[in-house]
Amino acid sequence: VAGQTTDVRKVLIIGIGAGNPDHLTLQAVKAIGATQVFFIIEKANAPELGALRDEMIDRHATPGEHRVVVIPEVARDRDPDDYERAVADWHEARARRLGDAIVAELADGETGAILVWGDPSLYDSTLRVLETVRRLGDTELDHEVIPGITSVQALAASHRIPLHGVGEPVLVTTGRRLVGGVQAPNTVVMLDGQEAFRAVDADGTTIHWGAYLGTDDEITVAGPLAEVADRITEVRAQARDEHGWIMDIYLLQGDG
């Protein structure tokens, strides 16, 4: 990680792991320590996650030499007629806000950072938003990615399993895409608000499910899908009521 550079604004995109504060790599700890301005895109829906992120900054940033800039999240239409268009518009609106904040708050030669849940390569828009900031053109930016532990790895670790049999492939996908059916013998499903596993042919399929992985509230359930699906639905509803939000992920394995 470069510390100070001159003349160019530097932004670090730091993967902070999937819920356990000890998921932070040494590289991430150093990067947080070298950051002067943290740009936080505020999400209202999961306050515990915001608290965890704030705690990481308190613990690893250099005292007295950093500040936090909060950028309000852009509202998003969750059920648009044109999904692709809506996502593109949302990215552009976020990019404008972030670009404006970088120009306003980060002096030349300073280092800024965006802390990203898990790793920025997996179902996260930060890198695309930064590309848009660059494309929109008003901000001279140098950026660097610090990798983090993903929720996929946290799931496998909590269940103490590999994701696949010897030499087999793994598909990582979303609940939305699973609706058409399981497409690979080992399928990891993220971003599933609809419990898409319920629509899967349960015959010969096992599931390893986990919620709030890495946190004190972690819950895991595993077994043949036909036997544990109802239990997952029950546990999930209860946990969601209790917390007001849920983040869960699962691995489906079967005959494909």
For ligand SAM, the binding residues (CB under 6 A) are: 18-19, 117-119, 122-124, 150-151, 154, 190-191, 210-214, 247-249
Report the length, in residues, of the chain: 256
Using Cβ positions, the residue closest to ligand SAM within the complex turns out to be 118
Question: Toward ligand SAM, which CB reaches closer, 106 or 207?
Answer: 207
Q: How far is the CB of 154 from ligand SAM (least distance, A)?
A: 6
Paired sense of beta strands 141-146 and 186-190, if any: unpaired
Q: What contacts 178, CB < 8 A, 6 or more positions away? A: 187, 189, 192, 196, 197, 199, 200
Question: Toward ligand SAM, which CB reaches closer, 111 or 150?
Answer: 150
CA dist., res. 215 & res. 213, Å (int): 6
Q: How far is the CB of 255 from ligand SAM (least distance, A)?
A: 24
CA dist., res. 19 & res. 212, Å (int): 7
CA dist., res. 114 & res. 41, Å (int): 8
What Cα–Cα distance (Å) separates residue 78 from each residue in 90, 138, 176, 178? 11, 30, 13, 18
Q: Is 60 left (phi over 0), alpha (psi -120 to 50) or beta?
A: alpha
Q: How far is the CB of 37 from ligand SAM (least distance, A)?
A: 22
Q: How far is the CB of 45 from ligand SAM (least distance, A)?
A: 11
Q: How far is the CB of 201 from ligand SAM (least distance, A)?
A: 22
Question: Toward ligand SAM, which CB reaches closer, 37 or 248?
Answer: 248
Question: Toward ligand SAM, which CB reaches closer, 148 or 254?
Answer: 148
